[in-house]
Each structure stands twice: as structure tokens, then as C-alpha cells.
Chain A
Amino acid sequence: MADIFHGAAWLQYALGGLTIGAIYALVALGYNIIYNVTEIINFAQGEFVMLGGLFGVFYYQTCGLPLGPALLAAVATVALVGLLLERYVIRRARHATVLSMIIVTIAFSILLKGGAMLAWGKDPYRLPPFSRSGAFLWHGVAVQPQALWVLGIGAVVVGALTVFFRTSFYGKAMLACADNADAARLTGIPVRTMVLLSFGLSAAVGAVAGVSICPITLMEYDRGALLGLKGFGAAVLGGLGQFYGALVAGIVLGLAESFCAGYVSSGYKDAVALVLLMLALFFKPEGLFGSKEAAGLKRF
């Protein structure tokens, strides 16, 4: 009897870890998209997640749209915020170094967080789960259908992005821009458009993470920073720019956190991600899946 109960606890933590890990993976994907095209690490990525959730709430509750259209509208709105960030902030500073660009994104994230606080206040908000059915038992584990949604969406987004960057012409052109922007322009690739596209795409992926997690963990104005940080951890752990790496590392991070909270203390939960991030930077800075060869050819 005790054994069965114990087993269930283990599975329950694993499921929780997978769910939150899929969210970290989505955030990490956002970093990777922009990094792949510009070599910029966009620290406003966590804010895109927060905005995704809050705009979802805005369209669903305030505007009274049905859930599906409300979520799509939220993702589209955040993608627009990403485009605006590129067009009116990053592009203005186009002669700055990559490092100053990164600092600009930190400033923009503070701006977004402050704006969200003014607009939505400090209370957490909730969205209803995507499917109406309630939690069910599976091997003694309570499964929320929303957790399955999160996992499924994570897998689909990773698959789609990998196919896009590996095989599509525009995907490869975006990688070429990151590699050598001048050479890319000389071959006729419209670099500014590609960079703009990367910010829009990345913001949309962040918003997808935000709307899918909102029914489980709620969303408030300052949730973005921590999600962003952990997503960054996952991105580095998986190897910057690697989509499968981000997926695996995000899930590893989520599982580690969930087991730590279950078996050690939930107080140390947030430290786990940071410790893993530091270990990765000390011992394998190119990440678990990053190729050392490619890392050596990159500047940053």
C-alpha cells in the first residue's frame, strides 16, 4: 500500500516536472530563434510569456471573446509587441555591439513589466483550461488535461521550428544572417526583414508558452523574469541555438525542479535551475547538444 502511494508520488512529480519543463523549453526556443538570427540574447523573452498570459485574459474576460480566438489574438498581439521591439528599439540601435543590444533588451523587459503592472495591477489572473474535461486518474496520478496540452504544444512547436530552420529557404536565410550579416546582404537576403521576422516569431512562441501555462499556474505582471531566467538556463544547457537541445534541457530543468520541490524542499526549487546553469557554463559551455565545432565558429 505504502509502495503504491510512493510510486504515485514519484509519477506525480515527474508529470509536474514535464509540464513546467515544456514551458521552459518554449521560453528557451524563443531565445534560440532570436539568437540564431542576430546573436542577440533577448532578455525580454520572459516578458513575452507574461504578456501572452495576460493578453489571453484580456481578450477572454475583458473583451468576452471565445477561448480559441482569444488565445490566438493574444499570441498575435504579443508577436506584434516583438515586431515593435525590433522595429523601434533594436533597429534604432543597429550600429551598437551585440552586448549593448542585450542590455537594450533588459531595459525593454523592465518597461514591459512596468507597463503590465500599470495595466493589469499586481493580482494574478487565470484562464480556463483548453479542454473542459476535468483531471483524471492514471496509475494513481492525477492528470490535468491542460498538462497534456502544454506537452503537446511544446512538441509541435519544437518540431515545426526545427523543420523551418533546417529545411526551409527562409529558415536557412535567417541562420545566414546571424552568421554574417554583410555576406547575407550581398547574396540578396533582406537581413532587416529576417531580423524583424525572428523577433515576431520568438515573441509568438513566448506568448504560446504564456497562454498554455496560465490555466495551471496563473499569470501576473512579474512572472516573466523568473520564467525568462529559467528558460535562459534551458537554452544554455541545451546549447544556444539548438531546438532539440532546448526541449531536452527544458524538461531536465523542469524535472529537476519538481523532484527537488517534492523530495528536498520547495524552497530550493528556484535554485536548481541556476545551479544547473552554472554547472553547464563551467563544464560544458557549448551546452549538452551544442556542437563544439559550431561554437568555435561563432563570435558570441
Chain B
Amino acid sequence: MKELKASMAGTVLNVLAAEGEAVTAGQAVLTIESMKMEIPIEAEFGGKVEKIHVEVGGFVNEGDLLLTVGE
């Protein structure tokens, strides 16, 4: 199981993947709004999304857990 963490602080604008869905490395799985910019967050690795730890509109700080991805 691997963890995808926030690379910077911001607000979750939308979630582009669903729990149970297979994602590939480099695929945008979330958009964070920060510094008035829309920032795509890409999966650093492929696998099945096990859990989404954030919700739209919520604040995330740098280093916060966004998704857990299984094999």
C-alpha cells in the first residue's frame, strides 16, 4: 500500500478518482486550489485507490495524506 501526500497547502477543488478505481502513475487524481491556481495532483505510482482521505472544499496542509493506493 502506498500513500499519496499533498505537495503543498491548499483547498481540495475536486477529486478525479473514486475508491476502488485503478489509476496509473502520472494520472491526475485530484485538483487542489492554492494561491488561486488550479493544481493537478498526479499519482506518483499506479494501483487501485483504496481510500480517499480528503473531501472537496477541505483544507490540506503540505504532507497531509490524500489517497492510499494498493497493489
Do these two chains really belong together in a complex? no
Using a CB–CB cutoff of 8 Å, the interface residues on chain B facing chain A are none
